[in-house]
Amino acid sequence: MTGQRTPGALSPESLAAIRVVFFQESETHLAQIATGLAALQAGDEGPETIEVVHRAIHSIKGAAGIFALDALVRFAGQFEAVLVEVRAGRLRPDPDVLRVLVRASNLLAELVEAGREDRAVSDDRTAPLMVELAVLTPPAVAPETLDDLDFMPRPMAFRPLGGA
């Protein structure tokens, strides 16, 4: 089920315009992922290539949350977790790993398209690949969340700009 998670009181027109931009930018991100994975398959394991793929997946995941595209957010999160392992050097992007990542890239594109068309995607569609991706990441350790952080906001005096 998809639907917009209204962030406060933005107008429907504003949200609709942001949604259009999100899907336009997602196309760019999907192209970056495909290009990056092709480069990895061609033997380019440079950190910048891996970083671009990771950032593109992260960007789709982050912005999809605005529109409550939950299946997309979950899948992108698992996909991103594998790229974190690759980026950290803990997982080598060998041909077997890359085959999984390419299939993940294709499914991510499918989920983006479903979101654009406001179509629900069954968990049955994503679950098998989610498992394959999970196998490539460390055993389940509850990730630290921001709720776990002990942080007090740091107030700052509001001063006129240009003043000393």
Partner 1 sequence: MPQAASVEIMVVDDQRATRTLVRDSLSQIGCARVSECGDGHEALQSLRARPVHLVVSDLNMPIMDGLALLRAVRAEPSLANTAFIMLTSNGDAEQVKQAIALGVNNYLVKPFTIGTLRRKIESVFGPLT
Residue ranges in contact with partner 1 by CB under 8 A: 5, 7-10, 14, 17-19, 21-22, 25, 52, 55, 58-59, 61-63, 65-66, 77, 80, 143-146, 148-149, 151, 153-159, 161-163
* Nearest distance in Å: CB 164, partner 1: 9
User: Which of 34, 66 has the CB closer to partner 1?
Assistant: 66
Residue with tokens 């990730």: 143
Question: Long-range contacts: 17-23, Cβ < 8 Å, 24+?
Answer: 18/66, 19/67, 22/63, 22/64, 22/66, 22/67, 23/112, 23/115, 23/116
Side chain identity at residue 25, one-letter code:
E
Minimum CB distance to partner 1 smaller for 94 or for 148: 148
**Smaller CB separation from partner 1, 122 or 140:** 140
* In contact, 2 and 115? CB cutoff 8 Å: yes
Which one, 25 or 132, has the nearer CB to partner 1? Answer: 25
- Residue 94: φ, ψ to 5°: -75, 175
Q: How far is the CB of 143 from partner 1 (least distance, A)?
A: 6
- Could you tell me the smallest distance in angstroms from the CB atom of residue 80 to partner 1? 8
Select from 38, 161, 150 the least CA-distant residue to 105. Answer: 38
Q: Tell me the closest approach of the beta carbon of residue 95 to partner 1, in angstroms.
A: 28
